[in-house]
């Protein structure tokens, strides 16, 4: 999927993943994000991916209940930020499949910043999701990579 927003071109592919990541970083259970937002090269869905892979731009978790979603995504963010200490943030999307609500979350070393719950039941909600997506993805890459 190539997104265009006011002249900004963003290559981003969301692939169902649901496979174990290479690193667990002190987690008791294997880490298996539902969906990964990848930039640059598409990877096969069955390939195990590293948190250290520069292609990983967004982690998406699909569950019912925002509390469960944020908890799971915070585990992924902890691992993502632990693998490379030069990273300063991790972008995630929480999607409640029963209520059709999304929340954009940016985890950083001081905690997290989050959007309000965005409903996909309305045109305005959908447009807000697109604006959030483009806004987050237009953040410049970290120069350390």
**pLDDT recorded at residue 144:** 43
Q: Is 75 inside any structural domain? A: yes
Cβ within 8 Å of residue 111, ≥6 positions away? none
CATH of the domain at 79: 3.90.1570
127 found inside a domain: yes
Give me 48's structure tokens.
């195990």
Residue 5's pLDDT band (cuts 50, 70, 90): very low
- For the chain, how many structural domains are there in total? 1
Residue 142: predicted pLDDT: 56
| pLDDT digit string, tens, across residues 102-138 | 999 999 989 999 999 999 999 999 999 989 888 877 7
What b/e string do you get for 36-51 counting C-beta neighbours within 10 Å, with b at 16 or more?
Answer: bbbbeeebeeeeebeb
Structural domain includes residue 13: yes
* Pairing between β-strand 89-96 and β-strand 2-5 as defined by DSSP bridges: unpaired
Residue 145 lies in a domain: no
Provide the whole-model pTM. 0.83
Which residues constitute the domain of residue 59? 2-137
Please report whether residue 15 resides in a domain: yes
pLDDT band at 26 (very low <50, low <70, confident <90, very high): confident
């Amino acid at each position: 999927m190539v997104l265009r927003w006011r002249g900004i071109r963003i290559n981003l592919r969301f692939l169902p993943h649901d496979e174990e990541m290479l690193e667990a970083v002190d987690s008791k259970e294997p880490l298996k994000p539902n969906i990964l937002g990848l930039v640059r090269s598409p990877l096969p869905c069955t390939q195990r991916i590293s948190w250290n892979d520069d292609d990983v731009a967004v982690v998406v978790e699909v569950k019912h209940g925002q509390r469960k979603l944020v908890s799971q995504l915070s585990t992924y963010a902890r691992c993502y930020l632990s693998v490379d200490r030069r990273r300063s943030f991790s972008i995630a999307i929480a999607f409640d499949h029963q209520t059709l609500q999304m929340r954009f979350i940016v985890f950083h070393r001081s905690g997290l910043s989050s959007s309000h719950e965005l409903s996909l039941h309305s045109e305005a909600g959908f447009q807000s999701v697109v604006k959030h997506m483009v806004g987050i993805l237009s953040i410049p890459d970290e120069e350390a990579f």
